[in-house]
């Protein structure tokens, strides 16, 4: 699982818009989907517009992914200086 996850995250270096924009209170995040074996995974990340840097906030199996992500009580950090 680690190698496919790392490969997925590294793909964001050249294609930061690859994931889907989330909606609602998590609209500041994007979700990138990938599969390893028969299990579907998600990676939630944020793009900092000024620097185009990417922060991965959470990665895990699709099952209960958004519920777990919501429990993190993340706030957008895009407006903060890096």
pLDDT tens by residue, 19-70: 999 999 999 999 999 999 999 999 999 999 888 899 999 999 999 999 999 9
**pTM for this one?**
0.87
Instruction: Point out which residues pair with 54 in neighbouring strands.
Output: 47
Give me the DSSP letters along the chain.
-HHHHHHHHHHHHH-GGGSEEP-GGGTT-EEEEEEETTEEEEEEEEEETTTTEEEEEEEEESTTHHHHHHHT-----TTS--
Helices of type H across the chain: 2-14, 65-71
Place 77 in a pLDDT band, splitting at 50, 70 and 90: confident
């Amino acid at each position: 699982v680690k190698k496919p996850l790392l490969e997925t995250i590294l793909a964001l270096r050249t294609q930061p818009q690859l994931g889907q924009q989330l909606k609602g209170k998590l609209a500041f995040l994007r979700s990138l989907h990938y599969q390893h074996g028969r299990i579907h995974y998600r990676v939630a990340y944020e793009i900092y517009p000024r620097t185009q840097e990417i922060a991965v906030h959470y990665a895990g199996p699709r099952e209960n992914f958004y519920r777990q992500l919501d429990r993190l009580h993340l706030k957008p950090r895009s407006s903060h200086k890096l």
